Structure 1
Amino acid sequence: MSRHHERLYIVTYDIADPKRWRQIFKVMEAYGDWLQLSVFQCRLTARRRAALAMRLDREIKASEDHILILDIGPADDVDLRVESLGKSFKAIERQARVI
């Protein structure tokens, strides 16, 4: 599928148990780029976005954990503007990822 069908997502999570948190982090590394503690930026097709949500849903404990998947828009059309206070922020460049 062409990259024109990718959308940009910000995924953030609050996981109660450290063991589950590490597992969620490992899942997210396969789908996106780590921005900061519990925050990832992902370029995903609809199919990969659905697969990510299913994997995350299997890993969490719904009564204790919370994950937000924010749809920012078409990945190639988004002019991501980030205000960074404190440490510097470097925008993530598009790159191939082997899974």
Structure 2
Amino acid sequence: MPLHVSDILPFSEARSQLSRLVDEVQQGAEKIITKNGEPAVALIDARRLDHYHRLERARIHLLLLEDVVKGLDDVDAGRTLPADEAMKMLRQRRRGSKA
């Protein structure tokens, strides 16, 4: 659903019209509330927020799977180190960045 100029309102107006805004959002509208002329928060239906959270979790899982595939490709290509060597290199890098 596209936002319209009427869906963007200052905090002071939103505060005085909160009941009406809640009704509109429950009917499918989305509102952007500004503070000092800058976008501050979005007012969306709670069910839609839950949907957005599920989508974000799914995206995170896909990113993790991509990392696993890259790691397996590294193993297949021989781009690996034993864990103790890798930890030693990381410690040396950390010491070098602190100096």
Which protein, 1 or 2, shows the higher relative CO under an 8 Å CA cutoff with sep ≥ 6? 1
| TM exceeding 0.5 | no
- TM-score tier by shorter-chain length is under 0.3
Structure with the largest fraction of strand: 1
Higher CA-based Rg: 2
Structure with the largest fraction of helix: 2
The TM-score with structure 1 as length reference comes to: 0.22
